Amino acid sequence: MKLFKKLFLQIFLAFLVLSQAVFFYLIYESRRQAVESIQYYEKLSFRGKTGELDQKLRGMYETEEQEIQDRIVASAFRQYVGSQGILYRGTKELFNISAYEYEVEDVFKRTDDRENGLLLKNGERRLLLFWDMLTFGKNYRVLYYKDITDIYQRFDKLFLEGLLFTVGALLFIGAFLFHGIYRTIRPLVELKKTAALLADGNYGIRLPVRGKDEIAELTESFNQMAEKIEEHVEKLSAVNETQRQLLGSLAHELKTPMTAIIGYADTLLTLRLSERRREQALQYIGDECRRLSRLSVKMLELTGLYEMGESTIEKKEVEVLPFIEKVKELTFWRLQEKKLSLEISCTPEDLTKTMDQDLMMSLVMNLVDNAVKASKEGGKIWIRADERELSVKDEGKGIPLEDLARVTEAFYMVDKARARSAGSVGLGLAICEEIAMLHGARLSLESEEGKGTCVRISKGENC
């Protein structure tokens, strides 16, 4: 709520300063205009009275007796000017029935204010003074005043009333501002909370868009950003899953060939073989190592984690019988672990199929490896090929009916304990299905518990 407080205080203080400045200006101008109006009126009144006094005195004879003349002038002054005026000869006061006394020497020196008047503060009173010389006699001066204290008092009272009204108005406007700014800023607060939830991993959260202002546009942009983040995270998750699948795939694919490689290597180390058999064993080791090198690149391409300018997956016509005989040779050592026999058949014997030999070899060896795992010691496994399909059948423990539809899912394992002990991660049939789809074929399973499983790689509607 820091932004809310800043906005509220800034707007409130700006309004306070502006309103008080306008209020003070209006009070000051109103008072000034009132004083100027009174000043103008009193100036005219002063000139009229002194003019009448001068006219009256011009009809009288001047006397040498100063005291008598002062009384004559004072008497006329009382009649025409009255209590609002003070009569001086020089600086000597001749007539004053007002309640005020003045330092006339200072006043009379200010000749610039004689015509327009002088505003003077006398104690707590505010007085407006005018003065002039009479044409009669020598050195007679008239000082005229107007008490305008009540004007200042009225405006002081008006100022206090206006100040109280301003305080009340500010409280009301402050409450209105508080509510208005809160409603305006609330979407930003919600945006902050939602951003925190997004940072915590709740990528599906969105904000409702209210109105058509800039905050609504910001909310809409935030929702678009959240959607992009969610899509990006899903892609990263998919890549992570693919990487996990790839690592499992490679580990799975390496196991059976490595068994054959280790078997031939151990044979070379422990047995004295003829030169022909020794070369044959080394040839198998070399072939399998090269096949694994090619297979690792193809598996990367198959899982979408590795893109080359030219595809490494190469489909060509392959003779099926030599192909399955090669599978039998490569799985020999794996079969020997459980004393299993592998029977192969191909109809017709010169049957050929279009395939990537490395990937299809991996598929069939995976199926044979699964059959080995499921079979009891001394059992049999069959590989059969014809124009419609290629199948791998065993007499193993079979797959429960409820698991049959899910065995091709990545990382799904029917017998988890057996799979862990065998080092499996549940990727064999998932990889097999990917390879079959790459060849335009499908993988189908038939299984019965206690009787075994048959896996078919087939094409066409009747497979």
**Tens digits of per-residue pLDDT, 437-462?**
888 898 889 988 888 999 999 985 43
Give the contacts of 92 (CB within 8 A, at least 6 positions apart): none
Q: Which helix (H) or strand (E) holds 127?
A: strand 125-133
Q: Using alpha carbons, select from 369, 368, 381 the residue that is nearest to residue 340.
A: 381
**Are residues 331 and 324 in contact, defined by beta-carbon separation less than 8 angstroms?**
no
Residue 183: per-residue pLDDT:
75
**Tens digits of per-residue pLDDT, 212-246?**
777 777 788 878 888 888 888 888 887 777 666 66
Average pLDDT, the chain: 78
**Tens digits of per-residue pLDDT, 288-333?**
787 776 666 666 666 554 455 556 678 899 999 999 998 888 888 7
Residue 4: per-residue pLDDT:
64
- Separation of alpha carbons 120 and 102, rounded Å: 10
Question: 380 falls in which pLDDT band (50, 70, 90)?
Answer: very high
- Cis link prior to 257 (omega < 30° from 0)? no
- Separation of alpha carbons 79 and 20, rounded Å: 49
Residue 325: per-residue pLDDT:
92
**Are residues 320 and 390 in contact, defined by beta-carbon separation less than 8 angstroms?**
yes
Q: Where are the alpha helices (DSSP H) in 95-148?
A: 104-109
pLDDT (average), residues 253-259: 66
Question: 341 falls in which pLDDT band (50, 70, 90)?
Answer: very high
For residue 51, the Cα-to-chain-centroid distance in whole angstroms is: 84
Q: Which CATH number applies to 2-164?
A: 3.30.450
Give CA torsion, residues 385, 390, 393, 398, to 10 deg. -170
Has this prediction a pTM greater than 0.95?
no
Residues of CATH 3.30.450 domain(s) within the chain?
2-164
CATH superfamily, domain 240-458, is Histidine kinase-like ATPase, C-terminal domain (3.30.565.10)
For residue 415, pLDDT over 60 is answered with no
| Top-confidence residue, 58 or 395 | 395
Residues of CATH 3.30.565.10 domain(s) within the chain?
240-458
Residue 463: per-residue pLDDT:
34
